[in-house]
Amino acid sequence: MKDLTLLLFERMGIFLMLTFIFTRIPLFRQLLDRKISWLNTFYFSSLFGLFGILGTYAGVVVQDGMVSSSFWMLQLGPDEAIAHSALVGVVIGGLIGGPLVGIGSGLITGAHMVYLGGFAAWAGGIAALVAGILAGAVARFFSQERVISPVKALFIGMFAPILLMGIILIGVAPPERAIQLVNLIGIPMVLTNSVAIAIFTTMLHVALREEERTAAYETQRALYIAEAALPHLKQGLTFRTAEAVAGLLMRELKAAAVAITDRERILAHAGIGTKQHVPGESIKSELSRRAIETGEQQIAYSHEQIQPHHASLGAAIIVPITEAGKVAGLIKLYFRRPQDIRSVEIVLAQGLGQLISYQLGAAMHEKMTHLMKEAELKVLHAQINPHFLFNTLNSINSLIRMNPELARHVTMQLGTYMRLNLKVTSSQWISFRQEMELLNAYMEIMKIRFEDQFTVECDMDDELETWMIPPATIQLLVENSVNHGLRNRRSGGLIRIGLRRKGGRAEVSVEDNGTGIPPNLLDKLGTKPVASLSGNGIGVYNINQRLIGLFGQEARLHIGNKAEGGCRFAFSIPYMRAEGSEDVEVH
């Protein structure tokens, strides 16, 4: 028994070497992914049936209690039997392929064992079929596992040779010969078959881990390329950005050449054939046109199908990239030979095309959001400025009859203010110094309109002069105090403006000694347009929304009434670079 066990283990090693080679076959990965069709069932049944046949030929012939070391047998005599590893292929086929593969491989292996003959041939044939059925049933029980664990496979692998021993004891005559055979081959077959099945499933787990590592690496590489390409793609598909992206893809994908196109022209080319390539050359290849029209990836397997026609380029993958749901251009990956295009390259190219398409869409969305924000700011100005303009024009109209000289002066001041306002509000950011110049021009007109009804005091830290602020923010709060808070005061009105630096933020406050804000409107003002007799609150609401949109909730307006009378508006904003960059830096 010891010699038989060692001999079976030696031959099992040869058998497992073949199975390791088998796990390298790409078609085998479809079985691991449970991609079973009727055609694949036939293929895999035949394949695992062949493994069963090889396991039979790797067996050891037994005759009258003696072990033969012959490696290959064509036919067994009537007094011979075989200790084999045929059930390994059947059980593995059932475990990973399901009942149909188990039955198919069991039938093939069992038919071969009957063909070989021997006094236990029919017992082996029946055991192979039943083992395939039971292994398929067990696979259904463990269907949540992609491949059953080696420990489970070790114990499951024991039942097949034990089943064979039971059938031999029941069906082989005379009983004395059956008992002698089982005593000789039972334990060695149970050990070798179960260990072989456990090792086989271990190989499958190794193959899966390799596949997962490869997929993770390719995914990481695609994400890195997409991230590195994003700064260029944000600027759109141009000759300059296409050249940068083509160079990036050339370095990372190890292709023979890379080309980037829009819908009509080749924008950039890197790698083999670059000297022959002229940026702006029109797209000529039929596959490229088809990719643009259909939006589907195309693969060229011949030199004639690709562009440019370079002698060293024999294959290409053409990947469409989309923007706003339409094909915006192509990524063309060139290879020297068709054999260089593996499934990994095809899947990677397709995933990369999708990622870059998403990046283009995100860049367009970001650009549109920025444009909408700018448009929204301009709309806010358009909503607020007419109030001041109409009131000033009405004042000029009244002064023309009573005091023409003063009307002429107000008109000149209005012109000065409008020129200055047009200059500063054409930018998204202005300095505090420019904001105060705009406010002073505004107050010159207000003093003429309202004479001595109110005064304005301003206390600003000198170091804040170069800090940036959205234009007309302070002016609009002062205008709110003039038009609403102090509208009923005939004299003694006071507007106090404070601009203080606190750490990395500028704290701005505008307060007056007017009538204050009605309590029923205090918690609503700034959060939405508020209807009231003195106005609809659109100005304060717009200021608050603009501050929140640009700086976040920390910059929102804080509105309250003062105990001694009047109201106070306050907010704080972080430091903004004087060149107008949107990158906020806190000192």
Q: Would you say residue 581 has pLDDT above 50?
A: no
Instruction: Say if residues 159 and 166 touch (Cβ distance below 8 Å).
Output: no
pLDDT tens for each residue of 513-522: 988 888 888 8
List phi, psi (to 5°) of 459. Answer: -125, 105
Q: Which residues contact 159 (CB under 8 A, 6 or more apart)?
A: 131, 134
Per the listing, tokens 């009307």 go with 407
Q: Would you say residue 370 has pLDDT above 70?
A: no
CA 424/CA 430 separation, integer angstroms: 6
| Omega cis (within 30) before 174 | yes
* DSSP H/E element including 122: helix 121-141
Mean pLDDT across 566-587: 66
State the pairing for strand pair 558-561/567-574. antiparallel
CA 12/CA 15 separation, integer angstroms: 5
Phi-psi region of 562 (alpha: psi -120 to 50; beta: other; left: phi over 0): beta
Instruction: Say if residues 522 and 585 touch (Cβ distance below 8 Å).
Output: no
Mean pLDDT across 421-440: 79
CB atoms near residue 65 (< 10 Å): 10
Q: Where are the domains of the chain?
A: 2-212, 235-359, 403-574
Q: CB-based burial of residue 440 (10 Å sphere; 0-12 exposed, 13-18 middle, 19+ buried)?
A: middle
What is the C-alpha end-to-end distance of the chain, expressed in Å? 84
pLDDT tens for each residue of 311-359: 788 888 998 988 777 888 888 888 888 888 877 777 778 777 877 777 7
Q: CB-based burial of residue 420 (10 Å sphere; 0-12 exposed, 13-18 middle, 19+ buried)?
A: middle
Mean pLDDT across 286-292: 88
Q: State the DSSP code for 283.
A: P
Instruction: Say if residues 334 and 315 touch (Cβ distance below 8 Å).
Output: yes
Q: Would you say residue 301 has pLDDT above 70?
A: yes
CA angle, 544 as apex, 543 and 550 as ends, to 5°? Answer: 90
Three-state DSSP class for residue 60: strand
pLDDT for residue 146: 64
pLDDT tens for each residue of 11-46: 777 777 777 776 666 656 555 555 567 777 888 889
CA 165/CA 91 separation, integer angstroms: 16
Q: Which residues contact 45 (CB under 8 A, 6 or more apart)?
A: 93, 97, 100, 101, 103, 104, 105, 107, 108
Q: CATH code for 2-212?
A: 1.10.1760
The alpha carbon torsion through 485, 487, 491, 497 (nearest 10 deg) reads 40
CB atoms near residue 206 (< 10 Å): 12
pLDDT for residue 130: 93
Amino acid, res. 428: Q
More confident residue, 66 or 510: 510
**Ranges of H-type helices in 335-450:** 343-402, 404-425, 432-450
CA 297/CA 306 separation, integer angstroms: 14
Question: Whole-number mean pLDDT of the chain?
Answer: 81
Mean pLDDT across 59-86: 81
CA 562/CA 485 separation, integer angstroms: 12
Mean pLDDT across 208-218: 73
pLDDT for residue 128: 92
Q: Which residues contact 481 (CB under 8 A, 6 or more apart)?
A: 495, 510, 511, 512, 514, 567
Kindly indicate the confidence band of residue 103, based on its pLDDT and cuts at 50, 70 and 90.
Answer: very high
CA 563/CA 403 separation, integer angstroms: 40
SS (H, E, C) 226-249: HHHHHHHHCCCCCHHHHHHHHHHH
CA 143/CA 157 separation, integer angstroms: 17
CA 352/CA 166 separation, integer angstroms: 57
Mean pLDDT across 69-75: 70
CA 464/CA 106 separation, integer angstroms: 87
pLDDT for residue 500: 92
Instruction: Say if residues 161 and 178 touch (Cβ distance below 8 Å).
Output: no
Q: What is the pTM of this model?
A: 0.46
CB atoms near residue 302 (< 10 Å): 10
List phi, psi (to 5°) of 522. Answer: -60, -40
CA 263/CA 274 separation, integer angstroms: 20
Q: State the DSSP code for 301.
A: -
SS (H, E, C) 443-482: HHHHHHHHCCCEEEEEEECHHHCCCEECCCHHHHHHHHHH
Tokens read off for 242: 């296409």
Pick from 345, 343, 321: which is nearest to 229 by CA?
321
Pick from 542, 577, 566, 538: which is nearest to 556 by CA?
542
More confident residue, 309 or 488: 488
DSSP string, 534-556: TB-SHHHHHHHHHHHHHH-GGG-
Kindly indicate the confidence band of residue 276, based on its pLDDT and cuts at 50, 70 and 90.
Answer: low
pLDDT for residue 503: 86
Q: Which residues contact 419 (CB under 8 A, 6 or more apart)?
A: none
CA 260/CA 273 separation, integer angstroms: 14
Q: Would you say residue 387 has pLDDT above 70?
A: no
Topology of the domain comprising 403-574: Heat Shock Protein 90 (3.30.565)
Q: Would you say residue 586 has pLDDT above 50?
A: no
Q: Domain 235-359: give its CATH superfamily.
A: GAF domain (3.30.450.40)
